[in-house]
Structure 1
Amino acid sequence: MASVNPPRGMRDFLPADKARRERVLAVIRERYRAHGFDEIETPVVEEHARLHAGIGGDNEKLSYNILRRGLDADGIRAAADDPAALSDLGLRYDLTVPLARFYATNRGQLPTVFRAIQIGPVWRAERPQKGRYRQFVQCDIDIIGDDTARAEAELITASLDTIDALGLEGGSVRINDRRALEWMLDSFGFTADERPGVLITIDKLDKVGPDGVAAELRGRGVTPGAVDAFDAFLKRPQTREYNPYGERQIRKALPEGAPEELIAHLVGLGDAVAAARPDAGEPPLVYDPFLVRGMGYYTGTIFELAHPSVDYSLGGGGRYDGMIGRFLGQEVAAVGFSIGFERIVDLVTAVEVEAAQAVVLVHDADVPTTELLAHKTALLRSGDAARVRLERRPKNLKALLERSAADGYTAFAAVRAGDAVGELQIKPLG
């Protein structure tokens, strides 16, 4: 007999959980719209060739592919060694690749600088574990058509404003630039073909430390002199003085001789964020020269959202100027920021987003249906309730009211046959 549980890595949500998720999503949408972004929707299915075009990084390996229609057993055996022959479609593993395809398809109907919101489920064939699911919601904002630091500043400002609105004040953003990373690796002496593997190792710095990174790099067999230079840089003497985000912090974090245009870009980004948040003091930004982010399509600024209550990121993104050009044959500037909804929704459990009053009408068995529906309609039309549910009075009223409170209801009223419409006595739950 088949299991009644959902597939591994996927979840059911009870009414109260679903309601809380939707309230959090409503806040996210409202703040994104307030910052000038417009919501779009793309299909959950994309062409197999697009999902496996070499622009999705490791996520491509986690794609759920859809078997071609009409293949019989012989056809499946003949195509067994060729995934593209077996599948012509797949479930989206992120929202960025679909957005690039969307823009290429619809750019004639979009503004020169397009600010997009995309919110929806994605699927990855992950190994299920705590906090890692095979189906989860992503909340993305992207700006297409603006190649200046203003676009990054808008994304960072909107994201910080959003988590503030959810009661998660105190967030900060770690910032780097893939061009600075490439320059740094080149200055140490790593060859171009060594750099992808080197970046994978550098991304482990906060977990294994400088010695662990150096040991793994030597184990990879990369240029020994480059590893020595990098190891020496990691272990260089440093003062413990505090420097807010700005030119001094950035210069101290990079080897000498960093390109001035890159430093100016990063400094300007901080100035823009500070101007957008004048009441917040210094910008909540930290320059991290070893921030990598795993997606291979990033071409410039990259960032991650941090919060002092947890030791993992709550979102991130970066500039991916080369992706849309893969569909159009011409370069189009693009940068995006994704909030980790599944992580954030767990953090705001104690910071409930205000919900409109929801009322349970507990009625006796002999109350006519016509009267019940008249009471319900009157409450909804008067604005005294945004949500009304009818429940027949059980023997255990306390259990009913407790379950209703767990489902997000805030009040109840007892209804008896003949009660005047509009004159029910509404009492708070709990």
Structure 2
Amino acid sequence: MASVNPPRGMRDFLPADKARRERVLAVIRERYRAHGFDEIETPVMEDYDRLHAGIGGDNEKLSFSILKRGMDADAIRAAADDPAALADLGLRYDLTVPLARFYATNRAQLPTVFRAIQMAPVWRAERPQKGRYRQFLQCDIDIIGDGTARAEAELMVASLDVLDTLGLEGGSIRVNDRRVLDAMLDVFGFAAEERPGVLITIDKLDKVGPSGVVAELRERGAAVEAVDALAAYLDRPAGTPTFDDAGIRAALPAGIPDEVVAHLVALGETVAAARGADAPLVFDPFLVRGMGYYTGTIFELAHPSVDYSLGGGGRYDGMIGRFLGQQVPAVGFSIGFERIVDLLPDADAAGERSVVLVHDRDVPLAQLLALKSHLVEGGARVRVEQRAKNMKALLERSAADGYGAFAPVGVGTTPETLELRPLS
């Protein structure tokens, strides 16, 4: 007998789950639009070569490829050792690569500075486990065409606004710059060719601690003097740096370019001005983010209720140029939708306007539907249920589906005599 389960790493959503997700999506969409972003849509598939062009980082290894149509068994066997010969399309593994292609395709019809929203599923051939799926929803905002700190500040302010509106006040954003990381590794003495591997190890700092990072670098055979310099820097007494010129410089070794520090300071000042208070930004000189296409500022969204990030992003000025042949500045922020949904309560704000009409068997259909239409026209969401022997189970199921009230309906019940009763 065939399995009735969804494919591994993918999920069904029951009505209450789907309604909850849609409520969160509506808030995210409304707040991002309020900040001047416009929603776009791109195909779920992109060309295989584009998805494997070296601009998607490690995600390229997780791409689902689509077999070329019309290949017979002999052609498949002949191409078995060459994935590019077997597939010409693939499912998108993120929304950034499709956005870069979208902009290159439609640039003439877009404003000089383009603010985009994308809210759509992506697919990755992950090993399924708790909190990690093969199909999941991404909610991205990106600004293309603005290379200043204003663009990054707009993304941060809009994303913090989303958290506040969802009831997750108190969020903060960890900030760094890939140019800071590169300058630090240069100061410590790491050769250019070993820096990508060094960054992979530094990215584990939160998990393994300074001693674990130093030990792994020694095992990898990194330059001894450079590892010693990094170890000494990690062992220095350090508090949480303030997000201003003095605080950022105090958190860094000497030799970091002034223009990079100035960019970060301007970012903090802009976010603070927009939020009307001290900017909820935290400078983290060892924030890495693994995507290789980041070229400047990088950031992660944090909340005190959890020890993992709720989103993140960064500047990727080099990506669109791969399609256009000229450099176009770009920066993006991705909200961790699946993680945020899990943090929010189940309450349905529309429950008071959701009604179940529980009718007796002998109620005429015309009367029943007239009552329903009357409530729907008044803005309510209405479900019709015949009275059951086990009324408790019926009402509990209705409450679980997001309904806030029910009304008994008998022969002769009118809109004026309809009695709404709370479900909880």
TM exceeding 0.5:
yes
In 2 relative to 1, CA 2–273 (structure 1 residues): closer, same or farther, beyond 3 Å?
Answer: same
Paired residues, what number?
424
Residues 182-193 of structure 1 mapped to structure 2, 5 A cutoff: 182-193=182-193
Q: Provide Cα deviations, 1:397-428, integer angstroms capped at 9, x if missing partner.
A: 11111100000011111122332245421211
Alpha carbons of 1:49 and 1:205: their partners in 2 closer, same or farther (altered >3 Å)? same
State the partner residue of 1:292.
288
The answer on whether the counterparts of 1:298 and 1:319 sit within 8 Å (CA) in structure 2 is yes
Long gaps (5+) in structure 2: none
Please show how residues 15-414 of structure 1 align to structure 2 within 5 Å.
15-238=15-238, 240=239, 243-278=241-276, 281-349=277-345, 353=349, 355=351, 357-383=353-379, 385=380, 387-414=381-408
Structure 1 runs (4+) greater than 6 angstroms displaced:
none
Kindly indicate whether residue 418 of structure 2 is the aligned counterpart of residue 418 of structure 1.
Answer: no
Q: 2: distance between equivalents of 1:27 and 1:343?
A: 15
For 2:117 and 2:416, the matched residues in 1 are separated by 41
Aligned residue for 2:12, secondary structure, equals coil
C-alpha distance in structure 2 between counterparts of 1:203 and 1:418, whole Å: 70
State the Cα deviation string for residues 373-394 of structure 1 (Å, max 9, x = none).
21111111123x1x11111111
Q: 1:197 to 1:373 in 2, by over 3 A?
A: same
How far, CA to CA, are the matches of 1:245 and 1:188 in structure 2? 23
| CA shift for structure 1 position 180 | 0.9
The secondary structure found in structure 2 opposite 1:53 is coil
Is the 8 Å Cα contact of residues 241 and 250 (structure 2) preserved in structure 1? no
The secondary structure found in structure 2 opposite 1:313 is coil
Task: Find the residue that maps to 2:88 and give its secondary structure.
Answer: strand
TM-score (norm 1): 0.96
Native 8 Å contact 2:241 2:282 kept in 1 = no
Distance 2:422 2:318 in 1: 56
SS of the aligned residue for 2:43 comes to coil
Measure how far apart 1:352 and its partner are: 5.5
* Matched-pair contact (CA < 8 Å) for 1:23–1:355: no
Distance 2:44 2:67 in 1: 15
Moved more, 267-276 or 363-372: 363-372
1:318-376 C-alpha deviation (Å, 9 max, x unpaired): 00011111111111110000000000000012675555611111112222222222111
Q: 1:108 to 1:292 in 2, by over 3 A?
A: same
Partner amino acid, structure 2, of 1:263: V
Cα distance in 1 for partners of 2:241, 2:290 equals 28
| Alpha-carbon separation, structure 1, partners of 2:265 and 2:38 | 29
Cα separation, 2, equivalents of 1:141 and 1:46: 20
- Partners of 1:323 and 1:423 lie apart in 2 by 64
Q: How far off its partner does 1:225 sit?
A: 1.5
- Per the TM alignment, residue 204 of structure 1 is displaced from its structure 2 partner at its CA by 0.6
Deviations 1:53-98 (A, max 9, x none): 1111111101111111111111111111111111111111101111
CA distance in 2, matches of 1:66, 1:422: 59
- Match for 1:250: what amino acid? I
2:218–2:227 Cα contact (<8 Å) kept: yes
Counterpart residue type for residue 16 of structure 2:
A
State how far apart, in whole Å, the 1-side matches of 2:347 and 2:259 are.
Answer: 42
d(CA) in 2 for partners of 1:422, 1:381: 15
Residue type at the aligned position of 2:403: Y
- Return 63-72 or 346-355, whichever deviates more: 346-355
Q: Secondary structure at the match of 1:147?
A: coil
Whether the 8 Å CA contact 1:273–1:283 is kept in 2: the answer is: yes
Say if 1:353 and 1:255 are closer, same or farther in 2 by CA, change over 3 A. Answer: farther
Cα pair 2:176 2:287 within 8 Å, conserved: yes
Write the distance in 1 (CA, Å) between the matches of 2:416 and 2:108.
Answer: 53
Q: How high is the TM-score relative to the length of structure 2?
A: 0.97
For structure 1, list consecutive stretches of 5 or more residues without a partner in the other structure.
none
